[in-house]
Chains A and B, each alone.
Chain A
């Protein structure tokens, strides 16, 4: 790159730092002389390094400084000095000495050991410990000890710069309690490259435009000045877009598939009576799934539509449906229970109940929450989505059912659909829907389907008619698309996750 172009790219920080670098390598000094903030210098150096104008190197150094006691002793003298000062040439009891020296028991003990080694004191062991000063001791009292001299050095000191006796002294003093401390200090230096030196010696004071202002536009002053060039290739700080919740993106897509296939959307309440959720769908009242542990119930009782009497008859003896019915006594109390809908099929029942003969053929879908009385864990949610569909068509048959589901799953990315026998109380035939997973190369179960029983359709619609029906899960597809392994993460509402989640690209 030619030098002129390079200079044009220099940021004001870089322009301020470059000349300084001709004389200084040390980071702290650069800060001082460039009169910039630490962060500004740091950024300037980084940018300059990116432009290959300098190289940054940092080394770790071990540095000695005074610890708590070191600072204290520098001010008040070393304890051994205080100890010596409280002695005389006569033996004195330890208690008296301690009191006079104002040292702690611990310090006194340390001093005795230390001073005995230097022959500065003489200790007599009687009933109580007695100590007197020796000739050597007197001498020591008069002059500064090597320890005291060490203490007066200009800290912080680099360990590698210690010389001669200081090395041994340091090792000694390091062992004393909170006397010295050794820390790692990172030292950054910057050295100009050849190109850097060249540019640094040039005149960098020429004015450039940093930011285009309205003022410049009005006066036209921009014509006389050059624009500073940016490094457009480096990273910029992140910015986040507003985002839909990713689950809703998937829902909108699924919705669009059914709309494209000519289906009309159904919506409805989450809180339903057992009548609509179960009895209208011919689920026997003693069916194991109706027991407390699977369904969330509320306390109150529902008001029933007139239709309940007809449904009661169908359960008990089949009424006019041509069925034998379940042959038990239908309980009104049971059907009046209020619950959180256990499937979106309740919406299908309510939709069929509103249809007239002239509305047929008709196709409906719903994507809605359903509830199961389960404790939350990585595999189970107490509320999740179901994708529901019905086709009410006098000519509908099992092959059409497979046709609709195949079309749907093709658009979801699965080219093959398989039906397996299953059992639901409200469909006959009943089937399990599997899709062939293109990556795992195996069949994966995604939901249930079937043709509604006449015991369901006739009382609701007024006449029997084939009704193709399905209830598919979508949790599995969503989890897989976004690599979610813990299903709770779908509704964790972690804002970082929502901000950074990629879009539903289908």
Chain B
């Protein structure tokens, strides 16, 4: 989750009220943000991904100020006409088709403001902009630009300008190969024949979105007063909302917002559009979900604490809010304004009858029986290494691999036996006998929705210097007898068991597992120096047979 750093003094000034430290901490977490730390003059907060509008000092302060009741209701932002235009060339349609632009004047940048703007831009890129894929933002000093601006696409070899943090002109291809930003975001243009760029009336390239701005025309300094802002991407609505988040923050910083005419091939649009959207308030829905009895007046008051306006039954949603999809989103905001701490627990008078899963119940009984035989239960991970499942067990099989595991536990186990062998090999310094068991899930290929068949297995493993086939078979039979079943053993052969001391376990003619003495080669593969016997069976199959009777 993204976190931002606020300058406490600036923040308090923007909020319009200074709260005592403890109250400040409490209010920040109850607004729906995670307070990480307040140190000296710095406040670190995590902002949830549904509220990108709070990723700036200004946006955060705006929400907070309403929440604590200082400045409630819908904020009004005046948008003047700049009379300037941006022409969108049809060539961008297949690359990065949309842009939303604005001018903000009278900002008088200083170092602090530049840092704030960089923070907004970066945080929005990572979150709402999905690492610049969905939306990329450019901010330019207005005095270096001559309108009208054109947004167009061209073959990369023909795009040439001096990017930020470079000391020479580079072609688009060179930027992608050599420039830091090019290497990081170049994949967003991969496979495109033409790359998009903004160019002004004097044929100065402003930037190549979503990669980098020009060093000459795209760098805000402490001499910058007015800025041109653009967002580019694939969905016009998304870009307009993104632009709104920036320009309202800049306005709260002291700027004046000016609109720009965007000449799209199919018609003219004007941005930013800060008109609030409207949605009807369904008060009974809200009350029902929250268990409250709010009057419309109460509800409106609470909505205003969350920065909304209200007009003739309709909620006015600020144009920078990106997260209002449904009536239910008002429910949450009203609950936050009401205060989560003010909801008191209630146990409804509803009778339902609880029921344990039958198979889980069966597993519990099997576990209790085995514990009664003085066995110790182990619990291993489902993910393990291929080596443990194959070479160490003297088996040539293909367990199911994971595509992207970052650790070396990158296969799904297909049997419990390797897990228990590992346990024995790691416990050699402890007292013997070591008689253990595990009930756990295994994974094999199968005809299911996912192509993976999951089964619950039981493995009982006995390890001490006098153990043998008889002993393990006694345990097996004690178990099956207790479940009202009779099992039979038919001789078979497996590479990881001693020949002549291994068999298949069958119940009512159905093969459900194997039992035997482990091959000394396998035992020594695990660096063990003690005889091992075991059985492993499919508990799901046993359940079906036992529960049926």
A338–B450 touching, CB < 8 Å: yes
B382–A296 touching, CB < 8 Å: no
Residues of the A chain whose Cβ atoms lie less than 8 Å from the Cβ of B133: 286
A498–B354 touching, CB < 8 Å: no
Q: Map CB proximity to A onto B323-338 as digits: 1 under 8 Å, 0 otherwise.
A: 0011111011001100
Tell me which residues from 303 to 328 in chain A have a Cβ below 8 Å from any Cβ of chain B.
303-305, 318, 321-328
B402–A400 touching, CB < 8 Å: no
CB distance from B517 to the nearest CB of A (A): 21
Assess whether B351 is interfacial by the CB under 8 Å rule: yes
Q: Say whether chain B's binding surface is mostly helix, strand, loop, or mixed.
A: loop
Once A244-B377, A263-B352, A495-B434 are accepted as A-B contacts, the answer to whether A402 and B346 lie under 8 Å apart by CB is yes
**Which of B49, B341, B381 is close to A418, meaning CB atoms less than 8 Å apart?**
B341
The segment from B12-20, B209-217, B247-255, B357-365 that touches chain A is B357-365
A493–B426 touching, CB < 8 Å: yes
Residues of the B chain whose Cβ atoms lie less than 8 Å from the Cβ of A466: 288-289
Docked Cα-Cα span, A316 to B448, in Å, equals 28
Assess whether A423 is interfacial by the CB under 8 Å rule: yes
A498–B134 touching, CB < 8 Å: no
B348–A396 touching, CB < 8 Å: yes
Once A264-B354, A382-B381 are accepted as A-B contacts, the answer to whether A324 and B325 lie under 8 Å apart by CB is yes
Docked Cα-Cα span, A418 to B329, in Å, equals 21
Residues of the B chain whose Cβ atoms lie less than 8 Å from the Cβ of A318: 325-326
**Which of B355, B400, B452 is close to A264, meaning CB atoms less than 8 Å apart?**
B355
Residues of the B chain whose Cβ atoms lie less than 8 Å from the Cβ of A491: 379-381
Assess whether B390 is interfacial by the CB under 8 Å rule: no
A267–B373 touching, CB < 8 Å: no
Tell me which residues from 256 to 297 in chain B have a Cβ below 8 Å from any Cβ of chain A.
288-291
Assess whether B38 is interfacial by the CB under 8 Å rule: no
B357–A375 touching, CB < 8 Å: no
Docked Cα-Cα span, A312 to B404, in Å, equals 26
Residues of the A chain whose Cβ atoms lie less than 8 Å from the Cβ of B380: 491, 493
The segment from A117-125, A155-163, A207-215, A251-259 that touches chain B is A251-259
CB distance from A446 to the nearest CB of B (A): 15
Residue of A nearest to B447 (CB): A303
Once A296-B405, A423-B32, A429-B331 are accepted as A-B contacts, the answer to whether A267 and B346 lie under 8 Å apart by CB is no
Assess whether B376 is interfacial by the CB under 8 Å rule: yes
Residues of the A chain whose Cβ atoms lie less than 8 Å from the Cβ of B336: 421, 429
Assess whether A134 is interfacial by the CB under 8 Å rule: no
Assess whether B374 is interfacial by the CB under 8 Å rule: yes
Once A242-B372, A297-B402, A496-B430 are accepted as A-B contacts, the answer to whether A454 and B290 lie under 8 Å apart by CB is no
Docked Cα-Cα span, A338 to B451, in Å, equals 9
Once A261-B354, A318-B325, A429-B331 are accepted as A-B contacts, the answer to whether A400 and B291 lie under 8 Å apart by CB is yes
Assess whether A388 is interfacial by the CB under 8 Å rule: no
Docked Cα-Cα span, A219 to B403, in Å, equals 75
Tell me which residues from 246 to 299 in chain A have a Cβ below 8 Å from any Cβ of chain B.
247-248, 252, 255, 258-267, 269-273, 286-288, 292-293, 296-299
CB distance from B45 to the nearest CB of A (A): 13
A271–B452 touching, CB < 8 Å: yes
Assess whether A87 is interfacial by the CB under 8 Å rule: no
The segment from A184-192, A220-228, A361-369 that touches chain B is A361-369
Docked Cα-Cα span, A498 to B441, in Å, equals 21
Tell me which residues from 408 to 433 in chain B have a Cβ below 8 Å from any Cβ of chain A.
409, 412, 423, 426-427, 430-431
Residue of A nearest to B434 (CB): A495
A423–B48 touching, CB < 8 Å: yes
CB distance from B275 to the nearest CB of A (A): 17
Q: What is the size category of the interface that chain B forms with chain A?
A: 35 or more
Assess whether B371 is interfacial by the CB under 8 Å rule: yes
Tell me which residues from 340 to 397 in chain B have a Cβ below 8 Å from any Cβ of chain A.
340-341, 343-348, 350-357, 359-360, 364, 367-368, 370-383
A493–B454 touching, CB < 8 Å: no
Assess whether A431 is interfacial by the CB under 8 Å rule: yes
Residue of A nearest to B424 (CB): A495
Residue of A nearest to B401 (CB): A299
B449–A303 touching, CB < 8 Å: yes
Q: Map CB proximity to B onto A478-496 as digits: 1 under 8 Å, 0 otherwise.
A: 0000000000000101111
Residues of the B chain whose Cβ atoms lie less than 8 Å from the Cβ of A252: 364
B335–A429 touching, CB < 8 Å: yes
Once A297-B403, A397-B290, A420-B29 are accepted as A-B contacts, the answer to whether A494 and B427 lie under 8 Å apart by CB is yes
Residues of the B chain whose Cβ atoms lie less than 8 Å from the Cβ of A302: 449-451
CB distance from B180 to the nearest CB of A (A): 22
Assess whether A300 is interfacial by the CB under 8 Å rule: yes
A399–B48 touching, CB < 8 Å: no
Residues of the A chain whose Cβ atoms lie less than 8 Å from the Cβ of B48: 422-423
Assess whether B50 is interfacial by the CB under 8 Å rule: yes
Assess whether A47 is interfacial by the CB under 8 Å rule: no
Once A338-B452, A382-B381, A398-B291 are accepted as A-B contacts, the answer to whether A375 and B406 lie under 8 Å apart by CB is yes
B379–A493 touching, CB < 8 Å: yes
Residues of the A chain whose Cβ atoms lie less than 8 Å from the Cβ of B379: 245, 247-248, 491, 493
Assess whether A393 is interfacial by the CB under 8 Å rule: yes
Once A373-B404, A453-B328 are accepted as A-B contacts, the answer to whether A265 and B346 lie under 8 Å apart by CB is no
CB distance from B475 to the nearest CB of A (A): 11
Residues of the A chain whose Cβ atoms lie less than 8 Å from the Cβ of B33: 421
Residue of B nearest to A492 (CB): B426
CB distance from A17 to the nearest CB of B (A): 30
Assess whether B512 is interfacial by the CB under 8 Å rule: no
A325–B325 touching, CB < 8 Å: yes
Assess whether B489 is interfacial by the CB under 8 Å rule: no
Assess whether A403 is interfacial by the CB under 8 Å rule: yes
A393–B348 touching, CB < 8 Å: yes
B352–A323 touching, CB < 8 Å: no
Q: Map CB proximity to B onto A228-242 as digits: 1 under 8 Å, 0 otherwise.
A: 000000000000111
CB distance from B388 to the nearest CB of A (A): 14
**Which of B343, B403, B407 is close to A298, meaning CB atoms less than 8 Å apart?**
B403
**Chain B residues in the interface with A (C-beta under 8 A):** 29-33, 48-51, 127, 130, 133-134, 235, 237-238, 288-291, 325-329, 331-332, 335-336, 340-341, 343-348, 350-357, 359-360, 364, 367-368, 370-383, 400-407, 409, 412, 423, 426-427, 430-431, 434, 436, 441, 443, 448-452, 454
Show 21 A/B contacts (Cβ-Cβ < 8 Å), sorted by A.
A245-B377, A269-B454, A288-B49, A298-B452, A302-B449, A322-B326, A338-B452, A362-B352, A369-B382, A371-B383, A393-B348, A395-B288, A398-B291, A399-B291, A403-B345, A403-B348, A428-B329, A429-B332, A454-B326, A466-B289, A495-B378
| A-B residue pairs, 4 tightest by C-beta | A421-B32, A397-B291, A423-B48, A429-B332
Other than the given A242-B372, A262-B353, A382-B383, 19 more pairs (CB < 8 A) read: A242-B374, A243-B376, A244-B368, A252-B364, A269-B450, A270-B454, A302-B450, A323-B325, A376-B409, A382-B409, A399-B290, A420-B30, A421-B33, A423-B32, A451-B289, A494-B427, A495-B378, A495-B423, A495-B430
